Amino acid sequence: MAGTAVLGRVTWRTATVVGLHDETPTARTLALAVRNWPGHVAGQHVDVRLMAADGYSAVRSYSIASAPNSDGRIEITVERLPTGEVSPYLTQDVVVGDELELRGPIGGWFVWRSDQTESIQLVAGGSGIVPLMAMLRSRSSIGSGAPFRLLYSAREPRAVFYRDELRALSNQGDSVVITYAYTRVTPKDWPRPAGRIDASLIATGTWPSTLRPTSYVCGPTSFVEHTTDLLIAAGHDRERIKTERFGATGERK
């Protein structure tokens, strides 16, 4: 935005939990009201810090799921990892009214800005859908006509986040084309057997490389490596593929 000063220093802020919503049996969305929130861009993340009584602290990064807005509220969606230090607390113990320490918004690279008009290819692996959802929501909220496609790989149908909202997005006139890939269990009569994204799915489920889309790929590190290689093999320009890796386990530290 012309004339806007450089990003202010990112500092720890207090966020109050104002809503909780289960997306899947293991993932929960937390709506947070953040004091003095400066606003964000779709794709950015925040760091959440939990501090124990003995002073031990743990910091984790979570992508923002909500579209940019000016009401000082954001949403994050947290997948519970059985051995995690932070995610079990955020998905099971937190109640409305609790306060968290939060730093952000962070990152100016893996973002979709509302002035981008080119074709956009989103590729999500599991909870990698979260920052991409912020981009889809941002597109909707500003009425952008940028052509979006989403290729979403999930373990099984019940592991899909934001299912109803995604269905609604794909049913609109200027619709977002969504292709699902299931790695373990498929719905009944699903045309494709369960399995990882492969070259044929890239061919049918993503924009052709000749359109020169900008691609955003987010998920566990091995997923991002695999799909990025497939996109490049299909003729996509590496320079136009932006990635966000969650690491081996899916928990970003």
Partner 1 sequence: MNASMNYVDGNAAGGELSRIFAVDITSAEGQCANCGAKRRFAEAHLYLQCPGLVARCPVCGHVLLRLANIQERIFLDLCGMTRLTFDTTKQSNPTS
Answer yes or no whether residue 68 interacts with partner 1 by CB under 8 A: yes
Task: Report if residue 246 touches partner 1, rule: CB under 8 A.
Answer: yes
Residue number with CB closer to partner 1 (104 or 213): 104
Whether the upstream peptide bond of residue 105 has omega within 30° of 0, thus cis, is yes
Q: Interior CA angle at 166 toward 186 and 104, to 5°? A: 115
Closest CA to 90 of 53, 130, 50: 50
Q: Of the ranges 68-76, 80-88, 182-190, 194-202, which one interacts with partner 1 (CB under 8 A)? A: 68-76
CB of 50 to partner 1, least distance (A): 14
Please tell me the distance from the alpha carbon of residue 45 to that of residue 124, in angstroms, as a whole number.
16
Residue 37 to residue 14: CA distance in whole angstroms: 10
Determine if 95 is a binding residue for partner 1 (CB under 8 A): no
Q: What share of the chain is helix, strand, coil (3-state, %, to 5)?
A: 25, 35, 45
Smallest gap from residue 83 Cβ to partner 1 (A) = 15
Size of the residue set binding partner 1 (CB under 8 A): 42
Residue given tokens 């920052």 in the structure block: 131
Tell the residue number behind the tokens 């490389």, with chain if given. 209
**Residue 7 engages partner 1 in binding (rule: CB under 8 A):** yes
Which of 190, 132, 136 is CA-nearest to residue 168?
136
Binding of partner 1 by 248 (CB under 8 A):
yes
Residue choice 18, 33, 47, 50 for contact with partner 1 (CB under 8 A) = 47
Residue 84 contacts partner 1 per CB under 8 A: no
Residue 41, helix vs strand vs coil: coil
Q: Find the part of the chain contacting partner 1 (CB under 8 A) among 24-32, 38-46, 176-184, 201-209.
A: 38-46
Distance between CA atoms of residues 221 and 218, nearest Å? 8
Q: Is 11 exposed, middle or buried (0-12, 13-18, 19+ CB in 10 A)?
A: exposed
Q: Which of residues 199-228 bind partner 1 (CB under 8 A)?
A: 220-222, 225
Answer yes or no whether residue 1 interacts with partner 1 by CB under 8 A: yes
Answer yes or no whether residue 243 interacts with partner 1 by CB under 8 A. Answer: yes
Interface residues with partner 1 (CB under 8 A)?
1, 4-7, 9-10, 38-41, 45-47, 59, 61, 68-70, 103-110, 113-114, 220-222, 225, 242-248, 252-253
